[in-house]
């Protein structure tokens, strides 16, 4: 077989493309990952062609059977992919024709690789979203378990990386949970726009064959066919949305990684990494390094880069399909692999983390975490807040000079700053009291954090039902497709 006969489009050409052009334009090394989806999409298309009488029923049957065989092979990991063929779509069609003969040549009726590739990638992204949401739910559940144990564990809350007000560790961990919950919601929302079927859009303008787009859409578990063929073959919004959702999540995970790097440092000592999630140094025998947390932080760069690549790729492309768009898949796969690799490891790492409650509590002794409470106390005794702020500021300045904390000042010392202050004021600013007092909705008081855990669990239940319901629905779709 000459080079040109291996192409799907050789008719137009007197000579085949150069080897250089072939290897330059090939996407096989990347899109081979889509083999399963490509075959599944082709089965649905073949069933539709034969249901509509566009291919003779016996041939349609033969095509579907041949494809089902290929599906088995790809599942067993032994699909015979040829490096000489430019992409996975060409490989599947050519394998089919090798196996079942000329009937295979009817498969591509009323279809273009333009609607095909979008269908494949949408099916990939759909599964990627469901896996990601399931993993996000696992991480949330680990964090919530840990948060529940730490409702009374006091630690400094930070702004500008400076001590701000006392909070509980449970409250702090729940802040991460709510971020991750928004991420899950974002993925599930993107899912709706991903889950529409491009098949039937053809190259760009639809087809003159009497196709049934509802049939293929349903057979592949999509909500419905897309609306405009030209938009369909040009649209990679779903890939960008997915990449953004991955990036936003990676930015959250990166912050968590950074926090663990800090917390496990000797300066903080808020936590110790389990041996299972730490590594050593090849030269310094004493080292226990938080490499997993550092790599999570580092890998966020890949997600950010991928998102930028996709935005730049799509920016300014004229309608409709342009070959540039072949460069979309690498970033989608990379973002997916990056994010899932981090989600798999971060939950177990938090599960095994040993918090040092004593260290956290001791850290609260410095930094005047109760200064706001002392000012609020003066307000309750009638002083305008701005003046109270000044008074407490002066008390803090005095304490810094004396090497004391606010709560260790004597009543006499306090009174220098305001006559309104007395022993009751000192009781008011014990750190425990400060923590428990913040009982406004969303606050750090233990009963409020318990409410937050309840809210988050409720929401997670909804996401879980949606995610696992969809996974089960798709399993059924694939069972039916194999019939
Ligand atoms: N490999 C191509 C891609 O990933 C498939 C679509 C090719 N379509 C075309 N008109 N050349 O985008």
Q: With helix as H, strand as E and coil as C, how does 279-329 read?
A: ECCCCCCCCCECHHHHHHHHHHHHHHHHHHHHHHHHCCCCCCCCHHHHHHH
Smallest CA-to-CA distance from 346 within 61, 85, 142 is with 142
The residue whose CA is least distant from atom 3 of ligand 1 is 326
Structural domain of 201: 114-210+222-363+452-482
The answer on 462 and 341 residing in a single domain is yes
Is residue 320 reached through a cis peptide bond, with omega within 30 degrees of 0 on the bond before it?
yes
**Confidence tier at 446 by pLDDT (50, 70, 90):** very high
- Listed residues 414, 429, 444: the one ending a domain: 429
Q: What value does the mean pLDDT take over residues 441-468? A: 98
- Rounded to 10 deg, the angle between the 237-263 and 329-351 helix axes is 30
Residues with CB under 6 A from ligand 1: 27, 31, 87, 113-114, 117, 321, 323, 325-326
| Domain contains 217 | no
Secondary structure element (H or E) that encloses residue 447, with its range: helix 446-482
- Rounded to 10 deg, the angle between the 88-100 and 57-75 helix axes is 120
Instruction: Report the atom number in ligand 1 closest to the C-alpha of 329.
Output: 4
The answer on 103 and 126 residing in a single domain is no
pLDDT for the residue numbered 66: 98
Smallest CA-to-CA distance from 82 within 72, 95, 69 is with 95
Supply the mean pLDDT for the chain: 96
The answer on 375 and 354 residing in a single domain is no
Length of the chain: 483
| Domain contains 322 | yes
Instruction: Name the active-site residue from 2, 160, 210, 440.
Output: 160
Mutation probe of ligand 1 site: the residue of 323, 325, 328, 332 with most atoms within 8 A of C-beta: 323
| Domain contains 288 | yes
User: Distance between CA atoms of 360 and 146, rounded to whole angstroms?
Assistant: 15
Does residue 156 sit in helix, strand or coil? strand
- Listed residues 48, 75, 109: the one ending a domain: 109
**Confidence tier at 14 by pLDDT (50, 70, 90):** confident
Q: What is the pTM of this model?
A: 0.95
| Domain contains 439 | no
Q: Quick check: 3 pLDDT over 70?
A: no
pLDDT for the residue numbered 357: 98
The answer on 325 and 345 residing in a single domain is yes
Are the beta carbons of 224 and 122 closer than 8 angstroms?
A: no
Expressed in angstroms and rounded, the spacing between residue 114 Cα and the centre of ligand 1 is 6
Give the torsion sign (CA, 37, 308, 311, 253): positive
The answer on 292 and 242 residing in a single domain is yes
Q: Quick check: 33 pLDDT over 70?
A: yes
The answer on 386 and 354 residing in a single domain is no
Are the beta carbons of 329 and 34 closer than 8 angstroms?
A: yes
The answer on 231 and 119 residing in a single domain is yes
Q: What value does the mean pLDDT take over residues 203-213? A: 98
The answer on 226 and 98 residing in a single domain is no
Other Cβ atoms closer than 10 A to 123: 23
pLDDT for the residue numbered 16: 81
| Domain contains 40 | yes
- Listed residues 42, 76, 109: the one ending a domain: 109
| Domain contains 380 | yes
**Confidence tier at 4 by pLDDT (50, 70, 90):** very low
For tokens 């790729």, what's the residue? 313
What pLDDT digit, counting tens, does each position of 224-249 carry? 999 999 999 999 999 999 999 999 99
Mutation probe of ligand 1 site: the residue of 86, 93, 117 with most atoms within 8 A of C-beta: 117
pLDDT for the residue numbered 18: 87
The answer on 137 and 280 residing in a single domain is yes
The answer on 283 and 266 residing in a single domain is yes
Q: Which tokens belong to 9?
A: 């489009």
Expressed in angstroms and rounded, the spacing between residue 48 Cα and the centre of ligand 1 is 22
What pLDDT digit, counting tens, does each position of 249-279 carry? 999 999 999 999 999 999 999 999 999 999 9
Number of domains in the chain: 3
Mutation probe of ligand 1 site: the residue of 23, 87, 108 with most atoms within 8 A of C-beta: 87
Dihedral-angle region of residue 79 (phi above 0 means left; psi in -120 to 50 means alpha; beta otherwise): beta
CATH number at residue 393: 1.10.40.30
CATH number at residue 35: 1.10.275.10
Please give the angle made by the CA atoms of 175, 181 and 184, to the nearest 5 degrees: 150
Q: What value does the mean pLDDT take over residues 31-53? A: 97
Q: What value does the mean pLDDT take over residues 376-386? A: 96
pLDDT for the residue numbered 2: 40
Residue 176 bears catalytic tag: no
User: Distance between CA atoms of 376 and 380, rounded to whole angstroms?
Assistant: 6
166, β-bridge pairs: 156
Instruction: Report the atom number in ligand 1 closest to the C-alpha of 31.
Output: 4
| Domain contains 437 | no
Q: What value does the mean pLDDT take over residues 415-436? A: 95
The answer on 167 and 308 residing in a single domain is yes
pLDDT for the residue numbered 458: 98
**How far is CA 417 from each of CA 153, 373, 375, rounded to the nearest angstrom?**
32, 15, 12
pLDDT for the residue numbered 7: 80
Q: What value does the mean pLDDT take over residues 327-342? A: 98
| Domain contains 445 | no
Give CA torsion, residues 33, 35, 41, 46, to 10 deg.
Answer: 170
**Confidence tier at 355 by pLDDT (50, 70, 90):** very high
pLDDT for the residue numbered 478: 98
The answer on 293 and 330 residing in a single domain is yes
Residue 173: which residues within 8 A CB-CB, separation 6 or more?
A: 143, 144, 146, 147, 150
**How far is CA 329 from each of CA 117, 125, 313, 332, 369, rounded to the nearest angstrom?**
10, 10, 11, 5, 50
């Amino acid at each position: 077989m000459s080079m040109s006969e291996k192409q799907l489009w050789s008719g137009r050409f007197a000579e085949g493309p150069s080897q250089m052009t072939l290897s330059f334009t090939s996407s096989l090394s990347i899109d081979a990952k889509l083999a399963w989806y490509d075959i599944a999409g082709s089965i649905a298309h073949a069933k539709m062609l034969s249901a509509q009488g566009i291919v003779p029923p016996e041939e349609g049957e033969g095509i579907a059977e041949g494809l089902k065989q290929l599906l088995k092979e790809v599942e067993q990991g032994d699909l015979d992919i040829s490096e000489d063929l430019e992409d996975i779509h060409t490989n599947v069609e050519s394998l089919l024709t090798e196996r079942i003969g000329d009937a295979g040549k009817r498969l591509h009726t009323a279809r273009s690789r333009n609607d095909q590739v979008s269908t494949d990638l949408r099916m990939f992204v759909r599964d990627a979203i469901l896996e990601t949401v399931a993993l996000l739910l696992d991480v949330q559940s680990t964090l919530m378990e840990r948060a529940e144990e730490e409702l009374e564990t006091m630690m400094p809350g930070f702004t500008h990386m400076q001590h701000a007000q006392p909070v509980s560790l449970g409250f702090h961990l729940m802040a991460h949970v709510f971020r991750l919950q928004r991420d899950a919601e974002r993925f599930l929302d993107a899912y709706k726009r991903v889950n529409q079927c491009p098949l039937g859009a053809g190259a760009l303008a639809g087809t003159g064959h009497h196709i049934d787009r509802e049939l293929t859409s349903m057979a592949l578990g999509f909500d419905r066919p897309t609306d405009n063929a030209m938009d369909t073959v040009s649209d990679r919004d779903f890939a960008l949305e997915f990449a953004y959702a991955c990036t936003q999540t990676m930015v959250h995970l990166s912050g968590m990684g950074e926090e663990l790097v800090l917390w496990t440092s000797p300066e903080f000592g808020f936590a110790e990494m389990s041996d299972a999630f730490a590594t050593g140094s090849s030269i310094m025998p004493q080292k226990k390094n938080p490499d997993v947390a550092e790599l999570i932080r580092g890998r966020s760069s890949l997600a950010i880069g991928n998102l930028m690549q996709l935005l730049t790729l799509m920016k300014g492309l004229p309608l409709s399909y342009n070959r540039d768009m072949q460069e979309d898949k690498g970033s989608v796969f990379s973002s997916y692999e990056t994010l899932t690799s981090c989600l798999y490891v971060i939950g177990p790492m938090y599960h095994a983390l040993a918090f040092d409650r004593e260290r956290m509590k001791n850290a609260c002794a410095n930094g005047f975490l109760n200064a706001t409470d002392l000012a609020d106390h003066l307000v309750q005794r009638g002083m305008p807040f701005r003046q109270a702020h000044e008074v407490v500021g002066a008390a803090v300045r005095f304490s810094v000079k004396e090497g004391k904390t606010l709560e260790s000042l004597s009543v006499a010392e306090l009174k220098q700053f305001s006559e309104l202050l007395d022993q009751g004021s000192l009781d008011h600013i014990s750190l425990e009291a400060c923590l428990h007092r913040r009982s406004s909705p969303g606050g750090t008081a233990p009963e409020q954090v318990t409410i937050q855990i309840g809210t988050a669990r409720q929401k997670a239940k909804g996401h879980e039902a949606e995610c696992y319901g969809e996974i089960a629905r798709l399993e059924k779709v694939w069972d039916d497709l194999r019939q």
